[in-house]
Structure 1
């Protein structure tokens, strides 16, 4: 066998090992999140805490890889294999038994729970990418180790995509954990093979450290700072793109997977040994960021797939360009682990800013246009072309051109803003391309390029935000962006969460307490609540999951007891501070419980309610843990044997009727569905409500009391029952609606 063939064979082992490690790393993240959902609830601050745990463990793993690099190679292998085997004793992965620290201490308890559950294996697997590259570089004739990072991120992408497409729809959680453990054992075997492949190297056999003769020049703080920035901006932009699209543009299920997947794939292109793909995206990134960046301040639902596509293209182009610049600034392989340690720290900083800091300081997703501008400032612009050099060769000429360009840009941006007011799309398109062309001619100055891009953003998107602030107010919490708008022409105040209306109230004194949107008197929940006395007599005890604007409070009768469950304190403030008056005027003495409704109901006595209305969706997102068999059984426990549970299933992108039908088939409970077409003239929205009970007699009584023609049986298409151990939204996606875009 020739030396070249031996080298290729050895390289294959390293590629497979790094692929398997990265696959495991990005498979375990959604898997553990899915396991923790019923216990921790669906609060975004929980997942922010989880994100920080993963980022901290990743940073720790990279630090571990860096520091053991100072050891003799044999000792590195021995230590890492021993620690992998020791961590394997915690498998299969399951949630640790960590007692709650009490109300208000979730910020500490959630990280402790996740660290105890997955910390050891996540920490060690996260170290695989830099370690394998470092071990590859032990053979100085093996070549550049950095392209192996492309394989690492392809493995990460495969792990991420395979979970919602293959594992979640077809493999129950317990079997997922067992399968993950089996692949983990394979990883340990592969690391042992790596040790064997390097055992014959002369410096390893002689127990000496590898040569550092070619360590290169010292790394200064400016270079380290640039590494941090080039890693932080794409990481933050990946999260802000997800937030921007799902908040104001297109609340599509599983949309979060796409930006993260593109972010991971960008490393595959940027760190590839063949540079053609990276060069193409680096050269076109300035044009893409100018055209797509115009949408970065857009806050208008209904923009559809065009904005989604351009935003994702921009994210991928920026990520490839900036990660490609990182690759160009990489140090000698002897400093490889330090380089990846700084990269990991930058990624963590970008995630920290977007996931935790931005929601605290901004009332909208302002971090998104800010990160786009930061990316523009870091992009390699390519300098002046030959014709530009001839026109603006001297510094004085360039300054004059810069001043003239700024004036022209400001004037055209004003035209762009004016055209958006008049909805003149032809003029908008013309002015947008004029600004884009101007920006590209100013490539000799990053300052000019960023300023013109900012003017494009303002001209294209400022109107939406000015309208929002002039009509009402905005509030941002970990649960989303809420907008209050007073539509004087209709005499209505509207609460919008992301792209979805969550409540309306008439402003006039005559009809201000009339139920609106999904909760009209002919909706399923309206029929149940308005006939509560007839169904249960006076003093009915009623629970409402999801406060919203408080509309359902208007059905309360004086002798009835209402209890609301709301996860976001910001929503409760709208009802307690007079923004919406349903709760204050109709049910002022009702109790409101702040927290995840499922967890709160599980902790409360059984049979305390007679009717429970479940309406807890965030925009068009589906809280899976509130629709599983275990969750619905919790609702049934709360209302007792003859209680009624009304569940709101209106959704643009997911067909939820089969989910409830599967539960009824599996449990033997009776149930009916009410489809109400609404009446826009009265601000009533089309809605779908399913009412279930353990009592056939009570369902019959409901039909007799409210009218049989108002209800029908649920359609059963043979779907599987959602459980805490097994559920997937993919089989229920309305693909035609999704392809048409958000309407």
Structure 2
């Protein structure tokens, strides 16, 4: 009997967690590949957990076992009546977060309610049997988390790699039916005791204890969403980077809820603060940290803090009679974290401040230090950072600032003399204010906003205005030039060469650019050219159109048509064989919208460009080598693939950049190789991406 309950929990958890990356992958192309899609999906699943735990709590209050079994069976029948075999979404106008939530609720709400209720309901059901461990069924939570963890790890490494999305949903449907068979045997093939009401009434839960449960659930859930957003914004919104943090989150539950935890909780309490060093070093060094270290630093600290908070939860768990209340508080903390990270933070903050904010809040979860009373650590940290801020950037002082000496000294102070929880929290907050607050940067912020699609910032540095997303420059304009430049500065020297040479063969041009940035690329075209520029983010369009920030769209020769929308969806609506040059530069930060680089996407592009047309792709990326993806799709479509790396050159205003070009125009390709330094790429097609398959791991720049 115990084995069958474990199987039921394992199956339900596997189904619940494997469908999360599935639906997010369906939603990504509709919303431009933004990492916020995953955060909103997580909010939905956390809300489903809350509703299902509340539902399980209500069932536990029913008078007899027959009543709660019949009620749950009725819900199962209703869920089958509107069961979706596929998850389908279409582009809609409105607030993206609420549109996504509506689709998820209407198509998946009832089946997921049945599944999500399993963890508390089946544990409660087992507690009502005559099993040996019925008085303490928390061990079953390990089976539930094992199913969740296996599903998450299997998705990017096995399921996503070998199975298409449609087949995935059909397989999930079969799994759901199998779970219902197991559930039916547990509900009606097991003997249950009468509910013992007097024991439930004899144990009361204090409000303080409930608030502690909610708090210890909120912190790791918010950190989970924050660290996932942080990683995927800077690398790519893809299942492999969604499931890693979530898998660690579940693993922390498995470890702390195990009968004999493999990592002793006293060790976690003693060393948790040490691991805080890793993400802070990442914050201080910024883009100087390689991709693998960037991921490792943040995930390691997140895992330790998840172990700490979940260890606190298991230490304060109530008896089995109150387990539904316990899990309801856990789910409430998770949902509050989802609401904060996905709905409140993007509207309250103009940068991704929620992650460092909750990291600082996590300091209140650190065990009490032996130091009594207040210490001077916050004051010393404040003085160190203030002195560093006001010191002139000259001579040896410039070296001190360049190597972040004050920031590292402050971190050492915090680690060596943390004081009590309050002083530790205050010290970390002071350090984070100096690391993140724009007003304390040595540049003037002209514009900074955040929305569903990310953070945009325009900084005024001596001689130029610069558009930055996360740590990546997405265009700039020199403010001292009397005449507008020709659009070849920054990353865009190679593309300017291509446009100039192509115009010698064919003019006027009809071009489309996916990704607006500052609008600098408009200056590569002439007045008689027809140019369309597309961006999914309304704020980016407003930045480029504002002459106080950038004047390219106003001053450059061509009349530019601006369109708001996802690039791939916009391309679908243009006439076939109508575009001479299609430029793909729609990357925010170093994150890539994978759906713009799939085989199906390039088949669409090829249909829309003229027979001698060009597809030009900006593939500069600190973390990923994207050239093999272009090579693979080029081989598949029998196109010539060219590549050019442009080294940085301060004299000419060039930033280091990398470009790929795909065309069937053999004569023009030869001309580019002879006169502009482009090289022919001969690599194979083992890294072909499709709408059903993409794998980033082999492409990481370790």
* TM-score, normalisation: structure 2: 0.88
Query: Aligned-pair distance for 1:423?
Result: 4.7
Q: Is the 8 A contact 1:550 1:583 kept in 2?
A: yes
Tell me, what secondary structure is at the counterpart of 2:468? strand
* From 453, 466, 471, the counterpart of 1:479: 453
Tell me, what secondary structure is at the counterpart of 1:18? helix
Structure 2: 5+ residue stretches without partners: 392-396
Query: Aligned-pair distance for 1:502?
Result: 1.4
Q: Is the 8 A contact 1:61 1:124 kept in 2?
A: yes
Q: Is the 8 A contact 1:546 1:565 kept in 2?
A: yes
* From 70, 77, 100, the counterpart of 1:110: 100
Q: Is the 8 A contact 1:93 1:117 kept in 2?
A: no
Identify if the C-alpha distance between structure 1 residues 621 and 106 changes in structure 2 by more than 3 Å, giving closer, same or farther: closer
Query: Aligned-pair distance for 1:120?
Result: 2.8
* The 10-residue stretch of structure 1 (24-33 or 209-218) with the greater mean CA deviation from structure 2: 209-218
- Say whether residues 1:728 and 2:685 are aligned partners: no
* From 288, 309, 313, the counterpart of 1:326: 313
**Distance in 1 between residues matched to 2:637 and 2:659, nearest whole Å:** 19
**Distance in 2 between residues matched to 1:327 and 1:716, nearest whole Å:** 53
Identify if the C-alpha distance between structure 1 residues 299 and 587 changes in structure 2 by more than 3 Å, giving closer, same or farther: farther
* The 10-residue stretch of structure 1 (493-502 or 109-118) with the greater mean CA deviation from structure 2: 109-118
Q: Is the 8 A contact 2:124 2:324 kept in 1?
A: yes
* The 10-residue stretch of structure 1 (616-625 or 660-669) with the greater mean CA deviation from structure 2: 660-669
Tell me, what secondary structure is at the counterpart of 1:716? coil
Query: Aligned-pair distance for 1:50?
Result: 3.2
Identify if the C-alpha distance between structure 1 residues 172 and 216 changes in structure 2 by more than 3 Å, giving closer, same or farther: same
Tell me, what secondary structure is at the counterpart of 2:179? helix
Superposed, which structure 2 residues align to 1:2-401 within 5 Å?
10-44=1-35, 46-71=37-62, 72-81=64-73, 83-84=75-76, 87=79, 93-96=85-88, 102-104=92-94, 106-139=96-129, 141-142=132-133, 143-195=135-187, 198-199=190-191, 201=192, 203=193, 208-245=194-231, 254-275=240-261, 277=263, 279-285=265-271, 287-288=273-274, 291-292=277-278, 294-295=280-281, 298=284, 300-304=286-290, 308-381=295-368, 384=370, 398-399=372-373
Query: Aligned-pair distance for 1:32?
Result: 1.7
Query: Aligned-pair distance for 1:436?
Result: 2.1
Match in the other structure for 1:393: none
Q: Is the 8 A contact 1:553 1:583 kept in 2?
A: yes
- Say whether residues 1:556 and 2:525 are aligned partners: yes
**Distance in 2 between residues matched to 1:628 and 1:462, nearest whole Å:** 36
Q: Is the 8 A contact 2:39 2:338 kept in 1?
A: no
Structure 1: 5+ residue stretches without partners: 1-9, 389-397, 739-743
* The 10-residue stretch of structure 1 (306-315 or 405-414) with the greater mean CA deviation from structure 2: 405-414
Q: Is the 8 A contact 1:147 1:273 kept in 2?
A: yes
Identify if the C-alpha distance between structure 1 residues 467 and 546 changes in structure 2 by more than 3 Å, giving closer, same or farther: same
Q: Is the 8 A contact 2:39 2:341 kept in 1?
A: no
- Say whether residues 1:432 and 2:411 are aligned partners: yes
Identify if the C-alpha distance between structure 1 residues 290 and 416 changes in structure 2 by more than 3 Å, giving closer, same or farther: farther
* From 714, 719, 732, the counterpart of 2:686: 719
Query: Aligned-pair distance for 1:465?
Result: 6.4
* The 10-residue stretch of structure 1 (471-480 or 84-93) with the greater mean CA deviation from structure 2: 84-93
- Say whether residues 1:666 and 2:636 are aligned partners: yes
Query: Aligned-pair distance for 1:585?
Result: 0.8
Q: Is the 8 A contact 1:237 1:372 kept in 2?
A: yes
Query: Aligned-pair distance for 1:564?
Result: 0.5
RMSD in angstroms over aligned alpha carbons? 3.3
Match in the other structure for 2:471: 499
**Distance in 2 between residues matched to 1:468 and 1:119, nearest whole Å:** 49
**Distance in 1 between residues matched to 2:102 and 2:60, nearest whole Å:** 29
- Any idea what the Cα deviations from partners look like across 1:49-89, whole Å, max 9, x if unmatched? 43333333232222222222234334434554564466456
Identify if the C-alpha distance between structure 1 residues 311 and 95 changes in structure 2 by more than 3 Å, giving closer, same or farther: closer
Identify if the C-alpha distance between structure 1 residues 307 and 530 changes in structure 2 by more than 3 Å, giving closer, same or farther: closer
**Distance in 1 between residues matched to 2:687 and 2:35, nearest whole Å:** 27
**Distance in 2 between residues matched to 1:274 and 1:176, nearest whole Å:** 36
- Any idea what the Cα deviations from partners look like across 1:504-537, whole Å, max 9, x if unmatched? 322221564243456544x1x2233223433332
* From 509, 512, 517, the counterpart of 2:481: 509
Q: Is the 8 A contact 1:671 1:691 kept in 2?
A: yes
Q: Is the 8 A contact 1:296 1:368 kept in 2?
A: no
Query: Aligned-pair distance for 1:151?
Result: 3.1
* TM-score, normalisation: structure 1: 0.83
* The 10-residue stretch of structure 1 (14-23 or 162-171) with the greater mean CA deviation from structure 2: 14-23
Query: Aligned-pair distance for 1:549?
Result: 1.6
Identify if the C-alpha distance between structure 1 residues 358 and 587 changes in structure 2 by more than 3 Å, giving closer, same or farther: farther
